[in-house]
Amino acid sequence: MTEIRMRVNGVVEKLDVEPWVSLLDALRDHLGLTGPKKGCDQGACGACTVIAGGVRINACLALAVQYAGKEITTIEGIAQGEDLHPMQAAFIRHDGFQCGYCTSGQICSAVAMLAEHAAGMPSAVTGTPAGHDAGLSDEEIRERMSGNLCRCGAYNGIVDAIKDVAG
Ligand code: FES
């Protein structure tokens, strides 16, 4: 066992984990945070997406010990006090889900994606840094969110929700 500490949703947590335990299993099984879902457990579906140090990651592909001392945000930490995060509210407004299994990952991914876009991280679609005022086309949102699959096919609502928040 290895003792690690990480700040999860603003709270410093101490965990005793074997070195091979994934961040996803540590969050779900050690901390009881079941918002991040285990879909494929191999980096293909995005259901496990969390935000680590401001960057979205597939928690199933990360080892918990790699994130010792890091800041992790899961869907449980996205809301702002009693208020939903604007992205959560937009997903509800635009029916950005059906069964909801992928939703926590979709929302974490969308929140981090907008921050990436605002920071000028290039898109594979546009090929150039987007810049804060460049706006996001449907095509670019779909490309930037392509790591998050929805088996129900709620993609139109997801894109509409993200566009709503992006303004
Ligand atoms: Fe991690 Fe599917 S469960 S990408």
Tens digit of each residue's pLDDT (9 = 90 or more) over 49-73: 999 999 999 999 999 999 999 999 9
Question: Quick check: ipTM above 0.95?
Answer: yes
pLDDT at 80: 86
Same domain? 157 vs 111: yes
Same domain? 36 vs 70: yes
- From the CA of 60, give the closest atom in ligand 1: 1
Same domain? 96 vs 155: yes
Give long-range contacts, CB 8 A cutoff, 24+ apart: 83-87: 85/111, 86/165, 87/111, 87/114, 87/161, 87/162, 87/165
Same domain? 66 vs 95: no
How far apart are the C-alpha atoms of 92 and 115, rounded to whole Å?
21
Same domain? 104 vs 66: no
42 CA distance to ligand 1 middle (Å) = 5
Per DSSP, the three-state class of 112 is: helix
Same domain? 90 vs 154: yes
Q: What is the pTM of this model?
A: 0.94
Residue type, 160: D
* Ligand 1 contact via 60 beta carbon (within 6 Å): yes
Same domain? 117 vs 146: yes
Atom 4 of ligand 1, residue of closest alpha carbon: 43
CATH of the domain at 111: 1.10.150.120
CATH of the domain at 16: 3.10.20.30
Last residue of a domain, one of 43, 77, 111: 77
Same domain? 117 vs 63: no
* Ligand 1 contact via 77 beta carbon (within 6 Å): no
What's the structural domain count of the chain? 2
Residue 159: closest CA among 93, 104, 114, 94: 94
pLDDT tens column, 84-136? 999 999 999 999 999 999 999 999 999 999 999 988 888 776 665 655 456 78
Is residue 93 a contact partner of residue 161, using CB atoms and an 8 Å limit?
A: yes
Longest dimension (CA), the chain: 48
Residue 59: closest CA among 31, 83, 88: 31
What range defines the domain where residue 51 resides? Answer: 2-77
Q: What share of the chain is helix, strand, coil (3-state, %, to 5)?
A: 35, 15, 45
